[in-house]
Structure 1
Amino acid sequence: MTAGAAPRTSPRASVRTPQEVDPLGALAARPITVAAGATAVLVASVGTVLRASDVSTSWAAWTALVTVVAAAIVLVVAADPLRAPFGPRGAWCVAAGCAVASVLSAVATSGSNPFVRDDWAGAVSGVLLLGLAPYRPAREIALVGAVVAFVIAIVVVAESPGFVTPVPTATYVVVAVTPLLALGAASAVFSAVYVGHVERWMTRAIGFRRVSTDDLGVTLARSVQQDRVTVLNREVVPFFARLIAAGRVAEGDADEARRVAEALRASLVADADATWLTRRLDAPGRRVPTEVVDPDRAADRLGPEHRTALWAFFSAVDDPAVVDVRSLRLVLVGQEARVDITIELAVASSATVARRSLSPYLTVLRLVSGDLRVDRSTSLLTLRFSYDQH
């Protein structure tokens, strides 16, 4: 990319979400989401207090505040990593809360609202829309903002006869919806640009991976050859060296030769039947052994993103202080178009604590699979999910 070039958003940037293309980035944005919810509640509360003299219907003012609090809670809860992905239902619930709060705020000051510039509905709605930026696509954020702005515009038109400043009604509407449209546009642009940048980076990474495929193949071939040489050095060479040193074939050498041949054959067959996952899990240095049940070699049919998510999870649980080393078990079953995966692990403390500590990895698994189910008992955590075969 040329230095200083303006970033261009991909056509798909308005469809995909930042949470889909970068789950861990969305996880890191959670404090910002919580801050957006808290700021919205604070702005609404301070605005209501400062306009206390204009409030003619107290129940409507209190209900408007409660609605803002509810919308903020929906935003924060829907952004919980253990509930990922943040779906469109959560975004539209936040939008509904903003719209209802706008109407109730107008009802609270009906007949006694001389200015529109001190109404908090537009600013509060815009702040809540900012909280959607890491989780929803740009097109949806823009649509949500437009719907809420339309509701606020209708409310302002209905209130306009009571305003004291003699200006066109359109001016009141512009003043009321500008904070919402500005913050909503910022949220949508962030979502689109972020997704575009990540997708371009992924495209370049895939290109580099394809270029290095030939070199990787040579490296793997050398690794396999080295493994087989190791087997020969461990089993065959000592046997023949002993025969040469003795200078004759003893009575038990035939049985020994048969044992060496069977051991060599078993090693080569196991190496041929091993999937990428079993090779990784059997690698030296792993502290938590894992039982893998994969009769159909379904692990080899997983795509790169699925392999990365799965391996990241196993790297996270490779700690005897967290996981019972006798209980980690993985079962893969190939279906027509999907690979069903079940992971069972007993935890050293409680399943709830383990679930919380593993939340970043569970979020990634949930996002790349779309159907992660987590069952927990007192000390056992069971994950069930599936992937498309590639």
Structure 2
Amino acid sequence: MTRATPTPRRPRAPASASQQRLDPIGGLAAWPIAPVVALIVVTYAIAATVSRPHEIQIEELAVSAVVALIIAAAVLVWSARPDLAPFTRTRAIVVVALGLVAHVLAAASAWQYNGMIQDDFAPIGLGLLLLALAPFRPWKEILALGGISAIIVGATALVQAPFLGVRTPPALFAIIAMTQVLAPSLAAAAFSRQVVNSIHRWQTDARRAIRGRTEENRDLLAHEVVDHRVKNLGADVLPFLADVLERDALTAADVKRARSLAFQVRRVLVAEVDHTWLDDLIERERAALTERGLNPLCVIADPERRATAFDSDQRAAAGAILVALCTLKGFDPTSLVVQIDGSGPAPADTAQVTQAFGTRGALPAPATDTTTIAIVTAAQEQAAAQARTQAQAQAQLKPRSRSTGARAVDTITIQAGISLPPYQRRRALRPYLSVLRAVFSQVRVTSRHPLLTLEFDADRSGSNSTKGT
């Protein structure tokens, strides 16, 4: 009897994930939920307070309850704004705490004169506020906040039970009051959990497909790399070796020529090894700007190759904002400066590259033949020009020193000139900044027209807690 092969379990998202974090662009479409819910909550609170003046004994407390709920709704709308993403745990706690304060004040304002629990606006308003957290916070957090709120609301109803107009067991009133909070909380938690798991499964399947496609194309890519290397060697190195083998003799001129060719090969290898995804991206954008008839000057200052430590999400987010800046109307193609520095050690592969090929800009011992001397002189001039450009970029950006202790934090700084009114510039970059805030730990925007400076940190300490919880 054969045993059936078990079906593999579908991957589940981390408990701390939310729709806004996993899908920042999709989270932008969900933010109108917040102002709609806030409007409903405020309208119902005002209408319920005005419609039952006979139950209110302390008008000041009733007004304070409505004001507290209005503030809670305002904090919800403010926290859900795309330009302030992500919606942090602290903001969610403040919203729920204000809703609970409104509930306690409303209960105190009608103490001993409240006719029914069902028409109290505070529990319903609090439940709607919890419902609005679904796209922004993890489902476990919504469930915890809803459970705590339901316990407080149920306890308040239990204390009021002897003074209510209907005589039923006090526990029934507590259950009714708790249901008004628990039902929206459970709905929000279920929605958040389902959406987050769906997005996570889709992303996992997409990454698996990309890895599979990469494995399929690995041999083809290897052949292309070999052909590229042979093409580079075919111009000078291979003919020289063929000539030496044909003569079956080695002269002093051959030694000098071999030294010169070795330096050329080393220079090409160092340039290719130093190349990062950021260099490739800037080269593509520089070529695109050139095709548009512009004369771009895009400066990259990443001497320690810290760009290689960025994960796929960070590379996609940083690349998207760079492409958006280069294609934005009013962009000055001579103003783009990208710098990456950090407080921790450089990525591990940088040390390996340095050990194998030397530091970026390092030059070998000078040769004696005129050909090599000319090559070395040109390389020195190119390295000096690059060093001057990077020094000017660093002087412009004025990086701040950071005291981060043992944390390894890489900071990417982008500066560009954009001749657009501030409102249009903010509107054009809003979705990209929202994604950056969801991916990076800190995002700082400085605008001094027409210069725009963006700074965002990538924490390499192995913890995502700094991205805002």
Map 1:1-390 to 2 at 5 A: 10=12, 12-218=13-219, 220-221=221-222, 270-283=271-284, 286-287=288-289, 290-334=298-342, 335-336=344-345, 337-351=408-422, 353-389=424-460
Shift of 1:217: 3.5
Which segments of 5 or more consecutive residues in structure 1 lack a partner in the other structure?
A: 237-259
Answer with 180-189 or 82-91: which moved more: 82-91
User: Cα distance 1:329–1:228, how it changes in 2: closer, same or farther (>3 A)?
Assistant: farther
Residue pair 2:11, 2:200 contacting (<8 A) in 1 also? no
Distance between the aligned counterparts of 1:150 and 1:35, measured in 2? 27
Distance between the aligned counterparts of 2:263 and 2:93, measured in 1? 65
Shift of 1:71: 0.3
Answer with 308-317 or 68-77: which moved more: 308-317
Secondary structure of residue in 2 paired with 1:68: helix
Distance between the aligned counterparts of 2:211 and 2:429, measured in 1? 32
Distance between the aligned counterparts of 2:297 and 2:218, measured in 1? 28
Secondary structure of residue in 2 paired with 1:286: helix
Distance between the aligned counterparts of 1:289 and 1:127, measured in 2? 52
Residue pair 1:13, 1:138 contacting (<8 A) in 2 also? no
Q: What TM-score, normalized to structure 2?
A: 0.70
Secondary structure of residue in 2 paired with 1:305: helix
Shift of 1:125: 0.6
Distance between the aligned counterparts of 1:306 and 1:192, measured in 2? 24
Cα-Cα RMSD: 3.0
User: Cα distance 1:376–1:86, how it changes in 2: closer, same or farther (>3 A)?
Assistant: same
**What CA deviation, in whole Å up to 9, does each residue of 1:19-55 have, x standing for no partner?**
2211122221111122111111112122222223322
Residue pair 1:146, 1:181 contacting (<8 A) in 2 also? yes
Residue pair 2:325, 2:416 contacting (<8 A) in 1 also? no
Letter in 2 for 1:312: A
Letter in 2 for 1:286: A
Distance between the aligned counterparts of 2:10 and 2:224, measured in 1? 42
User: Cα distance 1:320–1:17, how it changes in 2: closer, same or farther (>3 A)?
Assistant: closer
Distance between the aligned counterparts of 1:107 and 1:180, measured in 2? 19
User: Cα distance 1:320–1:313, how it changes in 2: closer, same or farther (>3 A)?
Assistant: closer
User: Cα distance 1:119–1:84, how it changes in 2: closer, same or farther (>3 A)?
Assistant: same
Distance between the aligned counterparts of 1:354 and 1:261, measured in 2? 50
What is the aligned partner in structure 2 of residue 253 from structure 1?
A: none
Distance between the aligned counterparts of 1:26 and 1:208, measured in 2? 25
Answer with 202-211 or 94-103: which moved more: 202-211
Residue pair 2:318, 2:436 contacting (<8 A) in 1 also? yes
Residue pair 2:419, 2:449 contacting (<8 A) in 1 also? no
Letter in 2 for 1:329: V
User: Cα distance 1:274–1:14, how it changes in 2: closer, same or farther (>3 A)?
Assistant: closer
Distance between the aligned counterparts of 1:356 and 1:17, measured in 2? 24
What is the aligned partner in structure 2 of residue 256 from structure 1?
A: none
Secondary structure of residue in 1 paired with 2:54: helix
Distance between the aligned counterparts of 2:172 and 2:434, measured in 1? 45
Distance between the aligned counterparts of 1:297 and 1:214, measured in 2? 26
Q: What TM-score, normalized to structure 1?
A: 0.83
Residue pair 1:82, 1:363 contacting (<8 A) in 2 also? yes
Answer with 180-189 or 316-325: which moved more: 316-325
Distance between the aligned counterparts of 2:451 and 2:140, measured in 1? 41
Residue pair 2:112, 2:164 contacting (<8 A) in 1 also? no
Distance between the aligned counterparts of 1:35 and 1:76, measured in 2? 9
Distance between the aligned counterparts of 1:201 and 1:104, measured in 2? 46
Distance between the aligned counterparts of 1:261 and 1:42, measured in 2? 79
**What CA deviation, in whole Å up to 9, does each residue of 1:325-349 have, x standing for no partner?**
2211100125323322111112212
**What CA deviation, in whole Å up to 9, does each residue of 1:346-383 have, x standing for no partner?**
22124554234212111211221111222222322211
Report how many residues are paired: 361
What is the aligned partner in structure 2 of residue 249 from structure 1?
A: none
Answer with 157-166 or 85-94: which moved more: 157-166
Letter in 1 for 2:436: L
Which segments of 5 or more consecutive residues in structure 2 lack a partner in the other structure?
A: 1-6, 237-260, 290-295, 346-407, 463-469
Residue pair 1:369, 1:385 contacting (<8 A) in 2 also? yes
Distance between the aligned counterparts of 2:227 and 2:423, measured in 1? 44
Secondary structure of residue in 2 paired with 1:116: coil
**What CA deviation, in whole Å up to 9, does each residue of 1:138-197 have, x standing for no partner?**
111111111211221122122222212111011111222212110011111111122212
Secondary structure of residue in 2 paired with 1:386: strand
Shift of 1:207: 1.7
Answer with 208-217 or 168-177: which moved more: 208-217
Answer with 223-232 or 27-36: which moved more: 223-232
Shift of 1:82: 2.3
Identity %: 33
